Structure formats: C-alpha cells, structure tokens
Amino acid sequence: MLTVFEKSIGKPPQELSLPLAGSSGLKNTRQEIAEIFRSWRSDSTFYNFRNGNFLALSREDQNPVHPRSIVVMDDIFCIFSGVLDNTCDLRRYYGLSRQATEAMIIIEAYKVLRDRAPYPPDQVIKELEGKFAFILFDSKASVLLLARDRDGSVQLHWGTAADGSLVCSDNPNLISAACGKCYTPFPPGCIFMSGTGLICFDHPLHKVRAIAREDDEGNTGAVIFQVDLFTRFPSIPRTGSAANWAGATAVEGE
C-alpha cells in the first residue's frame, strides 16, 4: 500500500526530513512516486484526489496472515493491513453487522472520534486488539489518520517527498526509492492525525520524541520516534476545546 498527501494535509513532523540536511539524498515528487509504484505493482489500484494526492493498493506479495483491504464509505477511505482479534466485540460496540470488515470498523471508530470532538483519539484506538496498521483519509474534512499496533507486527513506514508531502507505505524498499533517506518506521503503538500530531495511544500524556542517529561525521543518517516515558504533558481534563487537545498531543522535536 502507498499513500502520498501534500504537506498542508499530511503535516509530517519536520524531523522526518533531517537525514536530508547536508546530503544529496534522492527524493521524488508525488507524480514520480506514483509512477514508481505503478512500475513495481502492475495490479495496483489508485484513488486520486485533488492536487496530486492519492492512495494506492496492491495485493501482490501480501502476507496471507496480514491481508490488505480498502473500504470507502461516506467519502472516507481506509486501507487496512492485518487482523483485529476483537472484531466481534467491536462490531457490537459500534452497532455493525456481522459482515463488517476491519476497515469498516476503523471508519466507524473514526466517525465516533470526529463526531464527538474533542474526544481524544487515544481513547478510540487503544480499544483495537490485534496485529494491524491502517491509513485513513477523510476526503471531505482533509483529515489523515495513521496507526500501528503495539508490537509493530505489521510494517508501516513514513517519510517525506521532495515537496514535503507525507509518504506512507508498508514496503520499505518502495518508500526508500520514493523518499531516499528521509523515511523511518512508523512507531508501534502510536497514532498520527493531521492537525493533532503523533501520540502513543497507551501513554497519551508522554511525548513521542524524534531521536536522530548520526554518523562519524556528525551527519544525521536516520531518525526514529520513541515514547519518552520520563516526560509527561501537564494533565488536562478531558473537556474543553479541540485546540487544547491538539496542543497536548502534538509531537515536539527537540
């Protein structure tokens, strides 16, 4: 799977571009990345949006234990990879039929998050049990939501394109070809929501920090994101404006 969204929608952490500083690392435009994916996956299906943003899905070489699927409901697109262990419980909780797939459950969970704002996103996503990664895009609201299970059982990587667009894929070779050095694994147990930032859904009051790895010459060769269990945000009552929650959960690069 592959998604590319312009900077104004994806709002990627600026630390994702650190490996490019002082180097000539190869990065591609959104159009070039789409062509790379088409050349690698001839069976791919594209879902195109305004300004060159897109989602793409291929079932070639997919892990049978972690199948990929896509669902489109009410202008909300969700690519899901993996399996939820508590599907039956979630169907009952959200009032869905027995035929509802994991991707349908994710869309319904997102609707609850959206319609009950400022309901904190960690309260919704932490109820998911299993091995999964998903990418959801609300095309009406231009909201992007990413998440990965606690153990990082399903691959998900993110990086930046030449114009600062956010690129996400479950294929490390593909995202390396698209983003050069400017990519890294999406942190397990975390969610990223455009306009809100990167948080750990089990430790939402702890910062998720970007840690740069430098070579012998002091150049940043890679960046990883980890939960800082020694630093907490001030406790905020779960009432008030959405802006308060956005300020409480946004990732900070230091």
pLDDT value of position 181? 85
pLDDT value of position 20? 60
Tens-digit pLDDT profile for residues 41-84: 888 999 999 989 999 999 888 788 889 999 999 999 999 999 99
pLDDT value of position 235? 57
* Burial class of residue 48 (count of CB atoms within 10 Å of its CB; 0-12, 13-18, 19+): exposed
Average pLDDT along the chain: 85
How far apart (Å, rounded) are the C-alpha atoms in residues 124 and 20? 35
Tens-digit pLDDT profile for residues 17-50: 876 654 545 678 888 999 999 998 888 999 999 9
* Burial class of residue 181 (count of CB atoms within 10 Å of its CB; 0-12, 13-18, 19+): buried
* Burial class of residue 226 (count of CB atoms within 10 Å of its CB; 0-12, 13-18, 19+): middle
| 89-98, 130-139, 219-228, 229-238: segment of lowest average pLDDT | 229-238
Q: Please tell me whether residue 104 adopts helix, strand or coil conformation.
A: helix
Confidence of residue 173 (pLDDT cuts 50, 70, 90): very high
Nearest to 196 by CA among 253, 136, 246: 246
pLDDT value of position 21? 54
Q: What is the mean pLDDT of residues 159-183?
A: 91
pLDDT value of position 215? 65
Cα Rg, the chain, nearest whole Å: 18
Per DSSP, 157 falls in state: E
Indicate whether 107 pLDDT > 70. yes
CATH number of 2-249: 3.60.20.10
The pTM of the full predicted model, rounded to 2 decimals, is 0.85
pLDDT value of position 59? 84
Tens-digit pLDDT profile for residues 152-169: 999 999 999 988 899 999
Share of the chain above pLDDT 90, in %: 52
Q: What is the mean pLDDT of residues 220-228?
A: 81
Indicate whether 220 pLDDT > 60. yes
How far apart (Å, rounded) are the C-alpha atoms in residues 12 and 21? 16
Indicate whether 191 pLDDT > 80. yes
